[in-house]
Structure 1
Amino acid sequence: MPLLTDEERLQFRVEPTPEVVQAARDTILQHELSIEAIEERIQGLLVQVRDLRYDQAKHRAAIERCSGILTLARRLPAELLIKIFMHCVEDGWTPAPLVVSHVCSAWRNAALSPKVWSHVYVRCDDANVLDRTQFWLKMASTADLHITFAASWRITQREINRLMALLTTRRAQWRSLRIETETTRHAESVLAQCRGVFPELRELSVKTSASTPDGSEVDGTSDLELLLEIFNAERAPRLATVSYVSVIIPAVPIFPVHIRHLDLRIQDSLNQRPLSTDAILSILEPLTELTTLTFSMPFIYIHPFVPEPDSTRVVSLPNLTSLTVYGPTDLNELLPHIHAPLLRRIHLRSLEDLGYRQQPVGPSLMRFLDLSSPPIELLDLHDIDFDPETFAACFTALPDLRELRLHESSISDSTIQLLNGPRGLCPRLRKLDLRWCGMLRGRTLVDLVQSRLAVDELAGAASDSIEEVGVINCAFVLEDDVLDLARMTVCRIVTRDGDDYCRSIGCCSNARYRTRLRLRHMDQLAGHHRDLRLVL
């Protein structure tokens, strides 16, 4: 505690005089007045701070508005915004036109384009489906229409008729029609309402997930024969593509004969109707205009596959350029019964991993090649394997082959060596895609690429050089082999967008299908030259 001075001790020893008291009071009043003045100044400054904060907020809001004007989303041209909104709807986000119109004026103006409303999804189980469909058609105006009609088993015939009557008033604008029902009977009801001419219809898709409950499909009465009647060349002259997905294969021809692309998929089913070559050939026989054909048949079926008893029966598809067969191994016995002299791409995919036990596939393919002599440029074998003799015969029969894709194959070094240049088999071969080829050594690939660069002293280069090699989980393709290839070529990491079956089903992206090639080597590989691509 600080010590008092002599004067202070003297002052407090006696009672303060009135003058001293008054002086103290005057001093207190002066300090109180000073405090009030300071408080007034503080309040004035706080008001100024609030005013400054308000002004600051206005400037920040102005900056945000100006920044919004400068953002890419606001600066995108209306045509590009319309295209983006259309892709959103195509990908299944059906309320996209409504949602994006609430973002800003530019987006709202773009969303008002009739093209954004051109995909009309009619889900019969939705509330107010009729009003919603009317609104969508109104917004679509005169734009091309892509119709999706989905009906569950609960929907009545009256509801189907009412909705289809509304849709068919715009049938001249239809570009594509997709019908998704739970029974073939409901699909027939929808088709029966498709009256008149469809001058712009290009694509038709029908998907039924269950057969009729009374079993009438066995005798063919529920095979949707209306497809052939309603969408014939006179009523749908531009129809080119048909996709048909069901649990039962049609027993009679049901597809319009003028179509050029057919995707026929039969899902797993325990239906009583057998899966037979005769049924497939009967369906294909009238379709002479086909250029692409895809079969996908079930593995689970109550009856075994029924082969064609007449080995001489052949269906001619003179314009076919691409064929995909996916199903049980026996399904490939269909090949010798098809004559396709212009075929350039063939994809054979099996549901069974049987290795060399898939004996019917090799002979069937060879008989097909002998019959048609097609200029095959791409051969894709997915979970289908040949013995060395069949591989050799196949390569001999494919002088125009440019791309070879093998998945889960036991192809040997000696078989690959048949392709070595400058005068090896398949002289036009430029691309290899090898996945899970457990017996193939990387050194064999190095020798193949190197040999294809060699020049025949007498006749010059007789074989094309290898442009692209894909290697995924081939155990004996080592890192040193990759580096050796890189010394001759440029190594790149690429994927086949839209044309990679493994990627579409995800089979090479899980733990089983991890690649042996390591990203840490890419810096080493990138410094070399020429043209090899390593697909990871």
Structure 2
Amino acid sequence: MTFLALTQTTETTCSPIDYLPTELLIEIFVHCTTRTDPLAPLTLARVSSLWRQVVQSSPRIWRYIYLDDRSSIASSHAQARIWTRQSYPLNFDVHLDVSQSSRLVLPLLSPLLPLMNRWRYYSMSGKREESVDLSDSLPNYVDPLVIVIRDPDQLEIEDEGPEGLPRPTFTSAMPAWLTMNIWVSELPKAPALVPLRFTSIVMTESIPIQPRSVLEFLFACPQLEAFFFTGWQHDDEVLTSPLPIARLPNLRTLHVRSTCGTRSLLSSIDTPRLSELHLAHLNVDFTLAAPASPVDGDSDDEAGDFSRSASSDRATGMGLRALLLRSDPPLRVLDMDWSDMRTKDFRFAFARLGMLEHFFIEASDMSDKVIELLRPYVPSRGKGERVRVRLPRLKSLELSNCNELSGEALVGVLSERVRLTDGLAAWEGNTLNEVIISDCAGLKGDHGDLLRKELGNRLRLRD
């Protein structure tokens, strides 16, 4: 009687599946975790205490992470955290469904990117279709991040890689190292992203975006060391509220190219370790929007020098002023390729760039008044002051297509400078050891001969 009653009680409270060995139960649950039910582990865990125990103690059941753009970013991030924790220490598969918007690729994947060494398989469906097997060589790093900002109607046009094949989201640069490529019509903002660990970001703008959106994205990149921004020449943002300040404590290299937002970008980043600044193709012959509230330095250039790009000269100079005042970075390299400033901005910068070793400028309208700033001088504060030079650590100077400079000024300034810095131990070798001058119309043959007598093999002249 006791045995019969126990059997009857058990049959009323247990399902036949409960009698299966735990190993078989796990296999069944693993089979249930497919993309047709991405939240299956949570559903299974709610059936009974036994099932919950099996689900929570079995990493294999959590190895498939399915994210889609129909869920909120917050819930997707929570799901990613739970699945990666529960599947530990196993590798996992990632599937991304972006049927609605490809701009969410980076926000959805951001919590998983620090764990790339555990990714086994990646696939995407919806706006883009791709898949990649990572099981043979699990990547340890994803760097750089390449962002192409496109018109929404152009997002699905495939970019071709070096071999003429569509470029996938992840491309292999070397074993265990991936590059991430994304295409968006607008940049995600920092609140939608788990802080990104990229040390290098390459961003290309082919539709108008405002500097504000770039800055709001950079808030999510605290480990950034190199930023390459290629813009599209359109009017800078007319500010109705102050721009946010993006703090980039580790940024060492900054490239800004082909944009009219130079002033806004340079004025709104904090880069205390910046050592290289490359400015390229920023000169424009049209007028840029002026700020609503001018600051010190916004007045017209007292030098009255000629300029073919007066508005962009002012924007570039004011942006650099703001960057130097905020961050006081130890710049060693300043390259200005078809990028120019006013005379007053060169004077301001040269007075503050005490660590600069390399200065290159091409297609500048700078006058003799700028090159004269490199001549040794005695401060006017009183007698007994020793001779000084601006840019005291300058070792490499390259001038290209600077046609407003005269040969007489170049010969006089450079000759006097090297005579001083070559002969004084106080400069500890920080003298010009390379001078390259090319396509500067004011430098004639006799000027070159005079310079060569002073500089010797340090001088290179190019036609």
Length-normalised TM-score, structure 2? 0.55
Greater radius of gyration (CA)? 1
The separation in 2 between residues aligned to 1:391 and 1:259, in whole angstroms, is: 33
Answer 1 or 2: higher relative contact order, Cα 8 Å, separation at least 6: 2
The separation in 2 between residues aligned to 1:535 and 1:458, in whole angstroms, is: 28
Q: Where does residue 340 of structure 2 map in the other structure?
A: 385
Q: Where does residue 215 of structure 2 map in the other structure?
A: 281
* CA positional deviation for 1:483: 1.1
Change (3 A) 1:429 1:184: farther
* CA positional deviation for 1:252: 3.1
Change (3 A) 1:342 1:265: same
1:407-446 alignment runs, 5 A limit: 407-421=362-376, 423-446=388-411
The separation in 1 between residues aligned to 2:324 and 2:261, in whole angstroms, is: 18
Change (3 A) 1:347 1:250: same
* CA positional deviation for 1:351: 4.7
Report the residue type matching 1:433 in the other structure.
E
The separation in 1 between residues aligned to 2:232 and 2:422, in whole angstroms, is: 53
Is the Cα–Cα contact under 8 Å of residues 147 and 203 in structure 2 kept in the other structure?
no
Q: Which runs of 5+ in 1 are unaligned?
A: 1-170, 217-225, 232-237, 492-530
1:339-418 alignment runs, 5 A limit: 339-354=270-285, 355-358=309-312, 359-418=314-373
1:327 to 240, 258, 281: 258
The separation in 1 between residues aligned to 2:149 and 2:188, in whole angstroms, is: 17
Equivalences, count? 295
Q: Where does residue 294 of structure 1 map in the other structure?
A: 228
Change (3 A) 1:251 1:306: farther
The separation in 1 between residues aligned to 2:365 and 2:321, in whole angstroms, is: 19
The separation in 2 between residues aligned to 1:425 and 1:275, in whole angstroms, is: 38
2:446 to 455, 480, 492: 480
Report the residue type matching 1:428 in the other structure.
R
* CA positional deviation for 1:260: 0.7
Is the Cα–Cα contact under 8 Å of residues 439 and 462 in structure 2 kept in the other structure?
no
**Which digits, 9 at most, give the CA deviation of each residue in 1:292-316, with x for residues without a partner?**
11101122x6xx4425544363111
Is the Cα–Cα contact under 8 Å of residues 142 and 198 in structure 2 kept in the other structure?
no
Report the residue type matching 2:413 in the other structure.
L
Q: Percent of pairs identical after alignment?
A: 23
Length-normalised TM-score, structure 1? 0.48
* CA positional deviation for 1:173: 12
* CA positional deviation for 1:399: 1.0
Report the residue type matching 2:365 in the other structure.
S
Report the residue type matching 2:455 in the other structure.
T
The separation in 1 between residues aligned to 2:390 and 2:347, in whole angstroms, is: 9
Is the Cα–Cα contact under 8 Å of residues 437 and 460 in structure 2 kept in the other structure?
no
The separation in 2 between residues aligned to 1:206 and 1:385, in whole angstroms, is: 28
Q: Where does residue 248 of structure 1 map in the other structure?
A: 185
Query: In structure 1, the residue corresponding to 2:317 is in which secondary structure?
Result: helix
1:73-88 alignment runs, 5 A limit: none
**Which digits, 9 at most, give the CA deviation of each residue in 1:260-297, with x for residues without a partner?**
11111122x3xxxx511221012111111111111011
Q: Where does residue 432 of structure 2 map in the other structure?
A: 466
* CA positional deviation for 1:362: 1.1
Change (3 A) 1:454 1:405: same
Q: Which runs of 5+ in 2 are unaligned?
A: 1-115, 157-167, 286-308, 377-386
Is the Cα–Cα contact under 8 Å of residues 212 and 243 in structure 2 kept in the other structure?
no
Q: Where does residue 266 of structure 1 map in the other structure?
A: 205
Is the Cα–Cα contact under 8 Å of residues 374 and 391 in structure 2 kept in the other structure?
yes
The separation in 2 between residues aligned to 1:474 and 1:425, in whole angstroms, is: 23
The separation in 2 between residues aligned to 1:466 and 1:458, in whole angstroms, is: 12
The separation in 1 between residues aligned to 2:310 and 2:399, in whole angstroms, is: 18
**Which digits, 9 at most, give the CA deviation of each residue in 1:97-116, with x for residues without a partner?**
xxxxxxxxxxxxxxxxxxxx
Q: Where does residue 318 of structure 1 map in the other structure?
A: 249
Is the Cα–Cα contact under 8 Å of residues 415 and 455 in structure 2 kept in the other structure?
no
Counterpart check, 1:534 vs 2:458: no
The separation in 2 between residues aligned to 1:195 and 1:341, in whole angstroms, is: 38
The separation in 2 between residues aligned to 1:476 and 1:435, in whole angstroms, is: 12
Is the Cα–Cα contact under 8 Å of residues 315 and 339 in structure 1 kept in the other structure?
yes
Which structure has the highest helix share of the two? 1
